[in-house]
């Protein structure tokens, strides 16, 4: 794997850290800016919406720009956004800074995935994408807890200064290690948007939304599940989430290998494994050791879907790979927001927290069914082509 992939992974680490670290800093931010916790929580929503709506706009706007310059420009935007977060004098400025930072998120991962896949041999494309996404998983394992600890010790603004510094390192690595000329086809903006009318592309994006919804309908409320159902202390919750993060990291690499060997069978198998694991979690969550084992397995299979789905959309939207790949990031973030909302509705209805994993499992079943329908349509299309031939 070339050093260029490590440069992309470093940027992914910084982007992932700045997205999720705000969750651990909400009380400090709310207190410093004199807003309520729910009001401060909108900073997370604002970021997600910035990814959903900003990513495709940037992808189209930079469609015919050199790939290295585009990725460097987005990294500089990321650095600027974090500096503005660190300097924000009030809540409105911080919200605007978060949105600026979010704009580069989806487009960077989308375009970066296409670039990563093009840097290696065809049979290693998914592994290259997975290595880039490992930066995102390490952000959850290392970046978020360390950033939260730094913010609690030296003030929440110090965390954003630190993330901006990570962005500077990532930008230097990209400048040094990304090839000067990265092959790209000149984009026709009309055909870029025309790809959205293809059923296979829409189904691939739909699976990304469903997979992410399944994950976040449970993960958003994992702390209260572990504390109230499993009976684990707040310190113990940190350890359990670290185990989950280890699973995420391993899952990213596993998904890359599976996708490079058998893409569609791997998609169905991994999605089905997530359903089984979440169903089991409704029972294993009542005891610490079984819960820990289940969390690791859940992390492995839930994140193994990411490189699989990312490669799938690149293949299906081959006429507009940058837009398709970037829209996949919007789909993931739409699923994040939808999952948190659906899980909140279930909790607010008075359901037992131990039963919440069933919600994620049911959404996971929809992912499996969509994957099977996708395969059915693919086989029909191939049969039709063979018949005409």
User: pLDDT over 70 for what percent of the chain?
Assistant: 97
pLDDT in tens, 4-19: 999 999 999 999 999 8
Neighbours of 190 (CB within 10 A): 7
Write a three-state SS string for 261-322: HCHHHHHHHHHHHHHHHHHHHHHHCCCHHHHHHHHHHHHHHHHHHHHHHHHHHHHHCCCCHH
What's the whole-model pTM score? 0.81
Distance CA 206, CA 86 (A): 36
CATH 3.30.2130.10 fits 187-389, yes or no: no
At residue 2, what are phi and psi to the nearest 5 degrees? -70, 160
Model confidence pLDDT, tens digit, residues 86-114? 999 999 999 999 998 998 888 898 889 88
CATH of 1-184, one of 1.20.1250.20, 3.30.420.40, 2.40.30.10, 3.40.47.10: 1.20.1250.20
pLDDT digits (tens, 9 = 90+) for 203-252: 999 999 999 999 988 887 887 888 889 998 877 877 887 888 889 888 98
Listed by start position, the domains of the chain span: 1-184, 187-389
Tell me whether domains 1-184 and 187-389 share a fold. yes
Q: What gap in Å lies between CA 189 and CA 199, rounded to an integer?
A: 19
Decide if pLDDT at 166 tops 90.
Answer: yes
The burial class, CB within 10 Å (0-12 / 13-18 / 19+), for 386 is: exposed
**Rounded percentage of the chain residues whose pLDDT exceeds 90:** 44
Task: Compute the CA torsion angle 354, 219, 331, 341 (nearest 10 deg).
Answer: 60
Which residue from 363, 366, 362, 358 is spatially nearest to 283, judged by alpha carbons? 358
pLDDT of residue 129: 86
The per-residue pLDDT for range 176-217, each reduced to its tens digit, is 999 988 876 666 666 667 777 788 999 999 999 999 999 988
pLDDT one-digit tens code per residue, 325-380: 888 888 988 898 888 888 888 888 888 889 999 999 999 999 999 999 999 998 88
Q: Provide the sign of the torsion angle of the four alpha carbons 110, 116, 117, 123, taken in this order.
A: negative
Q: In the block, which residue shows the tokens 């911080």?
A: 94
Q: In this predicted structure, what is the pLDDT of residue 186? A: 67
Beta carbons of 214 and 278 less than 8 angstroms apart: yes
| pLDDT score at 279 | 97
Q: What is the pLDDT of residue 144?
A: 81
Confidence class of residue 85 from pLDDT cuts 50, 70 and 90?
Answer: very high
pLDDT value, residue 62: 82
């Amino acid at each position: 794997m070339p050093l260029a992939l490590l440069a992309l992974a470093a940027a992914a680490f910084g982007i992932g850290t700045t997205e999720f670290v705000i969750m651990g800093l909400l009380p400090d931010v709310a207190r410093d800016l004199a807003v309520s916790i729910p009001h401060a929580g909108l900073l997370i929503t604002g970021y997600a919406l910035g990814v959903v709506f900003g990513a495709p706009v940037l992808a189209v706007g930079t469609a015919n720009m050199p790939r290295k310059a585009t990725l460097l420009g987005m990294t500089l935007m990321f650095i600027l956004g974090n500096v503005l977060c660190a300097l924000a004098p009030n809540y409105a400025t911080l919200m605007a800074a978060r949105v600026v930072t979010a704009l580069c998120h989806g487009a960077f991962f989308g375009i970066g995935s296409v670039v990563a896949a093009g840097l290696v041999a065809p049979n290693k494309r998914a592994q290259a994408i997975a290595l880039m996404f490992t930066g995102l998983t390490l952000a959850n394992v290392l970046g978020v807890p360390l950033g939260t600890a730094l913010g609690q010790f030296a003030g929440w603004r110090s965390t954003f200064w630190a993330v901006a510094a990570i962005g500077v390192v990532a930008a230097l690595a990209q400048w040094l290690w990304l090839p000067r000329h990265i092959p790209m086809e000149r984009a026709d903006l009309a055909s870029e948007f025309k790809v959205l009318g293809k059923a296979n592309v829409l189904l691939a994006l739909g699976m990304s939304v469903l997979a992410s919804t399944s994950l976040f309908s449970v993960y958003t409320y994992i702390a209260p599940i572990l504390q109230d159902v499993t009976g684990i202390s707040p310190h113990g919750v940190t350890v359990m989430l670290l185990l989950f993060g280890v699973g995420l990291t391993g899952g990213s690499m596993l998904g890359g290998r599976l996708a490079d060997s058998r893409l569609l069978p791997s998609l169905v198998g991994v999605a089905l494994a997530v359903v089984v694991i979440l169903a089991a979690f409704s029972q294993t969550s009542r005891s610490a050791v079984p819960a820990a084992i289940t969390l690791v397995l859940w992390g492995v299979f839930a994140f193994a879907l990411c490189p699989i789905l990312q490669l799938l959309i690149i293949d299906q939207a081959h006429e507009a790979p940058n837009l398709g790949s970037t829209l996949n990031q919007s789909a993931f973030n739409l699923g994040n927001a939808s999952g948190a909302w659906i899980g909140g509705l279930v909790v607010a209805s008075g359901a037992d927290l131990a039963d919440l994993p069933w919600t994620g499992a049911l959404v996971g079943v929809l992912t499996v069914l969509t994957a099977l329908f996708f395969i059915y349509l693919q086989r029909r299309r191939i049969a039709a082509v063979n018949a005409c031939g």
